Chains A and B, each alone.
Chain A
Amino acid sequence: MNLKVQLPGMNCKNPVFPASGCFGFGREFAEFYDLSILGGIAIKSATLHKRFGNPTPRIAETPMGMLNAIGLQNPGVDVIKEKELPWLAQFDTEILVNVAGASEEEYVEVVKQLNDVENVSAFELNISCPNVKHGGIGLGTDPLLAAKVTRMVKEVAKKPVYVKLSPNVTDIVAIAKAVEAAGADGLVLINTLMGMRLDLKTGKPILANVTGGLSGPAIKPVALRMVYQVAQAVQIPIIGVGGITCAEDVLEFIYAGASAVEVGAQNFVDPYVCKKIIEDLPRVMAKYGIEDINEARGRSYRHE
């Protein structure tokens, strides 16, 4: 049975990554299991300077999911380069560095600073985080802006560039195609869906940021639909993400056209979830007669 997946810049022992923002830099989860079992790790967004993020409350629960408005809190690219990436080098896994910025130039600058770090396997451009008032939302929702930042980063990047797309758009395929044409090596979809909740006593929003990004099982059908649509429209590989909690979910995303997956909010619910999924995947593959995970890719739309 084969679980190995080849992606630009990444030789994954299995298709399971924890998603950016849901795994920090891995330190907390390394207390629970050996991170070397992972196909890869999408680490928390790096920005040029350190960011404290949004005021609290930053978390609200929803039916089968949660809203977050963290606001890209991170120690800045310098600290990530000097402390977090060297610490991660002890694990035998692929490191996908998520990059965010308030301007196109910031993405370029962060990528330049991380270009020569040996254990960086590839970059994942966060052009879709719905929490940052400047930059993010604008870039991810406009095909021209999404293509522009992709092109600018590709010009300087020495590692493959994946672009993580926002689902908060009318036509995800148009954005995906624009990003592919601009030179992206892969796509990651989807980021969180923008939402909100209100406090029944005060009538005010629960999140201090008013709106936040919805994640968890609630968004899985939306993510599957978008992966399914985009996979048939582009040639570059897709990492699927959105509401995955078990090995069966992974298979669904692979059927929809993803080459690999990221597991997000479920890491908060069950710190062992990625380990459990990886261990359970062979059983689920066997159940559905799949010898090689790569064979199952795109089964939903292929004529066999």
Chain B
Amino acid sequence: MKEDIGIILSNECIAQDTYRMVIQSSLAKQMNPGQFVNIQVEGTFLRRPISISSYEEDTYTIIYKVVGTGTAKLSTYQANDQLNVVGPCGHGFPIHEDQDNILIVGGGVGVPPLYQVAKEYRSRNKNVAVVLGFNDASQLFYEKEFKDLGCEVFTATMDGSVGTKGTVLDAIAENHITNDFLYSCGPMPMLKALEKVYEKGYTSFEARMACGIGACMGCVCKDKKDHDIYYRICKEGPVFEIGKVGFE
């Protein structure tokens, strides 16, 4: 983890309010699936924690949604601009060599960190089923990218404009998906619903953060069973074993 100034190679809109930015930086060598970078954005005080979607030898990719002034500003950055980040932060998704049937479930802007997980398992020739949930077709992204990795990809939209009409769990049922080693990231109601069904795997959480390095205690959550134990989402997380964290 360090402060790093990378060079933006591209920053493009890939779905409604959703942008993909590719950054050239040697920081990529230090990254693990599911970690995040804390990005300095001009005109805002705090950094923006954004998950790392994927990385190569000396580039990494983030996918983010414009939800406020910081991400709106980020969306205006152009190729050759510099990007100041602190990272890679937190603990990401462990990869299990002995798991052969992987289920990846992403909701909305929770999809990006799961892409590197899919890459890791596909490079090991594992069977990977991917279920992507969005509000509607205009927000859908990365269906093709996951397919290109050789994953089996299913989609769900709340309005039925593409894929199964309903939630990711509806899509799992409709398509009789039996893979049960889960990697998930997305809105809290989705994560809660998944936790009721699946026992093995990992979940990545989102939180309001200040420092992103474990110092400020702004993003803590409690252990599900022992309320005397707490975790910093930015430091011990953002990825936790399923069932480890108590929902507030």
> Chain A: interface residue count, which band?
35 or more
Q: Is B211 an interface residue (CB 8 A)?
A: yes
Chain A residues closer than 8 Å to B222, beta-carbon distance: 52
Q: Is A246 an interface residue (CB 8 A)?
A: no
Q: Interface residues of B: mostly helix, strand, loop or mixed?
A: loop
Decide: B45 and A53 in contact? CB cutoff 8 A.
no
Q: Is A165 an interface residue (CB 8 A)?
A: no
Decide: A56 and B211 in contact? CB cutoff 8 A.
no
State whether A28 and B45 are in contact (beta carbons under 8 Å apart), knowing that A56-B207, A56-B248, A271-B86 are contacts in the complex: no
Name the CB-closest residue of A to B216: A268
Q: Which residue of the partner chain, among B40, B47, B217, B230, contacts A58 with CB atoms under 8 Å?
A: B217
CA distance A146 to B132 in the complex (A): 57
Whole-angstrom distance between the Cβ of B239 and the nearest chain A Cβ:
18
CA distance A210 to B20 in the complex (A): 35
Of the candidate stretches A3-11, A59-67, A90-98, A106-114, the one touching chain B is A59-67
Q: Is B2 an interface residue (CB 8 A)?
A: yes
Scan residues 173-204 of chain A and give those whose CB is less than 8 A from a CB of chain B: none
Chain B residues closer than 8 Å to A65, beta-carbon distance: 45
Decide: B3 and A24 in contact? CB cutoff 8 A.
no
Q: Which residue of the partner chain, among B3, B218, B228, contacts A68 with CB atoms under 8 Å?
A: B218
Decide: B215 and A23 in contact? CB cutoff 8 A.
yes
Name the CB-closest residue of A to B46: A61
Q: Interface residues of A: mostly helix, strand, loop or mixed?
A: loop
The proximity string for A residues 24-56 relative to B, scoring 1 for CB distances below 8 Å and 0 otherwise, is 100111011000000000000000001011011
State whether A70 and B207 are in contact (beta carbons under 8 Å apart), knowing that A52-B230, A269-B47 are contacts in the complex: no
Whole-angstrom distance between the Cβ of A216 and the nearest chain B Cβ:
5
Decide: A268 and B46 in contact? CB cutoff 8 A.
yes
Decide: B210 and A268 in contact? CB cutoff 8 A.
yes
Q: Is A272 an interface residue (CB 8 A)?
A: yes
Decide: B208 and A60 in contact? CB cutoff 8 A.
yes
Decide: A32 and B2 in contact? CB cutoff 8 A.
yes
Name the CB-closest residue of B to A218: B45
Q: Is B220 an interface residue (CB 8 A)?
A: yes
CA distance A22 to B1 in the complex (A): 18
Q: Which residue of the partner chain, among B209, B213, B228, contacts A59 with CB atoms under 8 Å?
A: B209
Q: Which of A56, A57, A60, A265 has the most CB of B within 10 A?
A: A56
Chain B residues closer than 8 Å to A118, beta-carbon distance: none
CA distance A272 to B3 in the complex (A): 8
Whole-angstrom distance between the Cβ of B240 and the nearest chain A Cβ:
15
CA distance A50 to B228 in the complex (A): 9
Scan residues 39-83 of chain B and give those whose CB is less than 8 A from a CB of chain A: 40, 44-47
Chain A residues closer than 8 Å to B210, beta-carbon distance: 59, 66, 68, 265, 268
Decide: A269 and B208 in contact? CB cutoff 8 A.
no
Chain A residues closer than 8 Å to B207, beta-carbon distance: 56-57
Whole-angstrom distance between the Cβ of B229 and the nearest chain A Cβ:
10
CA distance A100 to B93 in the complex (A): 38
CA distance A24 to B211 in the complex (A): 11
Decide: A269 and B248 in contact? CB cutoff 8 A.
no
Q: Is B219 an interface residue (CB 8 A)?
A: yes
Chain A residues closer than 8 Å to B213, beta-carbon distance: 28-29, 31, 271
Q: Which of A52, A53, A65, A272 has the most CB of B within 10 A?
A: A52
The proximity string for B residues 110-125 relative to A, scoring 1 for CB distances below 8 Å and 0 otherwise, is 0000000000000000
The 5 closest A-B pairs by CB, nearest first: A268-B211, A59-B218, A24-B215, A28-B215, A268-B210
Q: Which residues of B contact A (CB under 8 A)?
A: 1-3, 40, 44-47, 86, 207-222, 227-228, 230, 235, 248
Q: Which residues of A contact B (CB under 8 A)?
A: 21-24, 27-29, 31-32, 50, 52-53, 55-66, 68, 70, 73, 216-217, 265, 267-272
